[in-house]
């Protein structure tokens, strides 16, 4: 096994990775920006290296500084976490050129899945269902109108280089198309440096259901079931759960097999997630793949008992998968609430000093966080300060446990989204499992 790993990230995910490394007997190197010197990941790692000033471009996205830190500390591998450099194929290549193992898939897999058109083409070949849409990029307005009429309205225009919901335009009629098409291209160019867009049929009020996959460097791929991430606000996930209230064992098997086929189609060899939309009739369609460990991975860990970060590290080292599909059993129900340093009504970031802090505990309660009493939340990065995760035998009990844990949670001095989560746990539609991607919009209007 690796002797030492550098973690090219910050916040709760850096701690999450350090914890598994400790249990595996692997030494850890934290890197940090000058704004993060008081962060817990710096204190918990065996060594730490400052890699630059606060702005991400100068620190957590600074490839030269991160590679130098790995060389300086003799780290054999780099774990990129999520965000920052985690889905950057160029970074993966540079690591390998420097003789450092990138803990993630190959640059090639990342490139195919990072381009949404090539991702669609790769998965169609192996029979994974996708929504009707263009097989290539659409490059002019007349062509856009023609293909949209063939697909049937409403349609959605998406950036080839986009993802995560950014740069999408929903179009309900031919008359609205030319304008939306031009805007989408302009936004794609500004947002992703590539104006190319494609068009698919728009699926109204879908569920967002994603499948966790685990793959090794020997061609073995399994899945760990699904997470329902339908509770989102402006394409930011707010609450995730496993299993989904829409999945039957049959649907899970079908989606799981599709996810495994999609992973094999790109010779995938690490942990990853296939995002699907599920419509009202329980039809599912592949959307995109996330080629990294995700924020919401803990709910899958809770219901399967599999340490996803551990399997990711083992796989990167070249070990064979130690589970078969039959070993994976879904037990009970897990829910995760993302706790952000934000105003829980306006959702504006609220950095500042935490004057008092108490985390909930007890049976089936897990807190993945990096903050503590007297820690100052800095304004430079994502506002996620903690993930509160619960596990119980049933969904009803998990909701009650989450409500209880939220009541125990104390974060004084800054505003957080804890009050918003308390509202959701008491919401009738949430309790009954009547959720789709428009749930928060409806709740905010109440």
Whether the Cβ atoms of residue 303 and residue 244 lie closer than 8 Å to each other: no
We find the least distance from the C-beta atom of residue 206 to ligand MV4, in angstroms, to be: 6
We find the least distance from the C-beta atom of residue 311 to ligand MV4, in angstroms, to be: 24
Q: Which of 247, 437, 439, 440 binds ligand MV4 (CB under 6 A)?
A: 437
Q: How far is CA 190 from the centre of its chain?
A: 23
Q: Does 288 bind ligand MV4 (CB under 6 A)?
A: yes
What tokens does 273 get?
């997630």
In the bound state with ligand MV4, the residue whose beta carbon lies nearer, of 201 and 253, is 201
Q: Does 287 bind ligand MV4 (CB under 6 A)?
A: yes
Say how far apart CA 402 and CA 363 lie, in whole Å: 11
- Judged by CB under 6 A, how many residues of this single chain contact ligand MV4? 17
Q: Does 131 bind ligand MV4 (CB under 6 A)?
A: yes
Q: How far is CA 277 from the centre of its chain?
A: 15
Say how far apart CA 33 and CA 12 lie, in whole Å: 15
Largest CA distance in the chain: 62
Q: Does 232 bind ligand MV4 (CB under 6 A)?
A: yes
Say how far apart CA 77 and CA 114 lie, in whole Å: 23
We find the least distance from the C-beta atom of residue 277 to ligand MV4, in angstroms, to be: 6
For residues 43-62, which are near ligand MV4 according to CB under 6 A? none
In the bound state with ligand MV4, the residue whose beta carbon lies nearer, of 29 and 130, is 130
Whether the Cβ atoms of residue 353 and residue 368 lie closer than 8 Å to each other: no
Q: How far is CA 332 from the centre of its chain?
A: 22
Q: Does 165 bind ligand MV4 (CB under 6 A)?
A: yes
Q: Does 202 bind ligand MV4 (CB under 6 A)?
A: yes
3-state secondary structure of 20: helix
16, 120, 185, 292: which one is catalytic? 292
In the bound state with ligand MV4, the residue whose beta carbon lies nearer, of 32 and 202, is 202
For residue 185, count CB atoms less than 10 angstroms from its CB and return exposed for 0-12, middle for 13-18, buried for 19 or more: buried
Site string for ligand MV4, 233-262 (x = CB under 6 A): --x---------------------------
Residue at shortest CB range from ligand MV4: 165
How do beta strands 333-340 and 384-392 pair? antiparallel
Asked if 292 is an active-site residue, the reply is yes
In the bound state with ligand MV4, the residue whose beta carbon lies nearer, of 137 and 165, is 165
Q: Which of 275, 296, 342, 368 binds ligand MV4 (CB under 6 A)?
A: 275
Going from the C-alpha of 23 to that of each of 17, 31, 323, 390, the distances in angstroms are 10, 20, 19, 22
Across the chain, how many H-helices and E-strands are there?
Answer: 15, 20
Q: Which stretch binds ligand MV4 (CB under 6 A): 137-145, 198-206, 316-324, 381-389?
A: 198-206
Sheet holding 197-201, edge to edge: 169-171, 155-159, 197-201
Q: Which stretch binds ligand MV4 (CB under 6 A): 138-146, 182-190, 195-203, 408-416?
A: 195-203
Q: Does 208 bind ligand MV4 (CB under 6 A)?
A: yes
Q: Does 203 bind ligand MV4 (CB under 6 A)?
A: yes
Cis peptide leading into residue 154 (ω within 30°): yes
In the bound state with ligand MV4, the residue whose beta carbon lies nearer, of 34 and 205, is 205
User: E strands, 167-247, where?
Assistant: 169-171, 197-201, 207-215, 221-233, 236-242
Whether the Cβ atoms of residue 51 and residue 25 lie closer than 8 Å to each other: no
Q: Which of 87, 115, 200, 241 binds ligand MV4 (CB under 6 A)?
A: 200
Give catalytic residues, as residue numbers: 292
Residues of this chain that interact with ligand MV4 (CB under 6 A) are 131, 156, 164-165, 200-203, 206, 208, 232, 235, 275, 277, 287-288, 437
């Amino acid at each position: 096994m690796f002797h030492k790993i550098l973690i090219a990230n910050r916040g709760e995910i850096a701690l999450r990775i350090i914890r598994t490394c400790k249990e595996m007997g692997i030494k850890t190197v934290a890197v940090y920006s000058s704004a993060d010197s008081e962060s817990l990941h710096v204190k918990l790692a065996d060594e730490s290296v400052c890699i630059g000033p606060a702005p991400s471009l100068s620190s957590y996205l600074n490839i030269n500084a991160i590679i130098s830190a790995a060389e300086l500390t003799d780290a054999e591998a780099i774990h990129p976490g999520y965000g920052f450099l985690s889905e950057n194929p160029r970074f993966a290549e540079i690591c390998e050129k420097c003789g450092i193992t990138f803990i993630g898939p190959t640059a090639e897999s990342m490139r195919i899945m990072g381009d949404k058109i090539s991702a669609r083409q790769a998965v169609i070949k192996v029979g994974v269902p996708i929504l009707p849409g263009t097989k290539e990029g659409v490059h002019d307005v007349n062509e856009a109108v023609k293909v949209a009429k063939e697909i049937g309205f409403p349609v959605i225009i998406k950036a080839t280089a986009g993802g995560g919901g950014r740069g999408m335009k929903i179009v309900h009629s031919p008359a609205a198309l030319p304008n939306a098409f031009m805007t989408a291209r302009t936004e794609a160019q500004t947002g992703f440096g590539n104006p190319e867009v494609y068009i698919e049929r728009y699926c109204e009020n879908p569920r967002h259901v994603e499948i966790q996959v685990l793959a090794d460097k020997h061609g073995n791929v399994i899945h760990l079931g699904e997470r329902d991430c339908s509770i989102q606000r402006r394409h930011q996930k707010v609450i995730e759960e496993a299993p989904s209230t829409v999945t039957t064992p049959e649907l899970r098997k079908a989606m799981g097999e599709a996810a495994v086929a999609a992973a094999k189609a790109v010779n995938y060899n690490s942990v990853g997630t296939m995002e699907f939309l599920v419509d009202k009739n329980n039809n599912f369609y592949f959307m995109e793949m996330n080629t990294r460990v995700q924020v919401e991975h803990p709910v899958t860990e809770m219901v399967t008992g599999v340490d996803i970060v551990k399997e990711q590290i083992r796989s990167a080292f070249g070990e064979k998968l130690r589970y078969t599909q039959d070993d994976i059993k879904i037990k009970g129900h897990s829910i995760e609430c993302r706790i952000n340093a934000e105003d829980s009504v306006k959702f504006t970031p609220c950095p500042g000093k935490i004057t008092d802090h108490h985390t909930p505990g007890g049976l089936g309660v897990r807190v993945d966080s990096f903050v503590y009493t007297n820690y100052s939340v800095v304004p430079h990065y994502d506002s996620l300060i903690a993930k509160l995760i619960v596990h119980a035998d049933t969904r009803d009990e998990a909701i009650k446990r989450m409500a209880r844990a939220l009541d125990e949670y104390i974060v004084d001095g800054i505003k957080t989204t804890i009050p918003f989560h308390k509202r959701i746990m008491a919401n009738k539609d949430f309790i009954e499992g009547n959720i789709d991607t428009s749930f928060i919009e409806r709740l905010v209007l109440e």
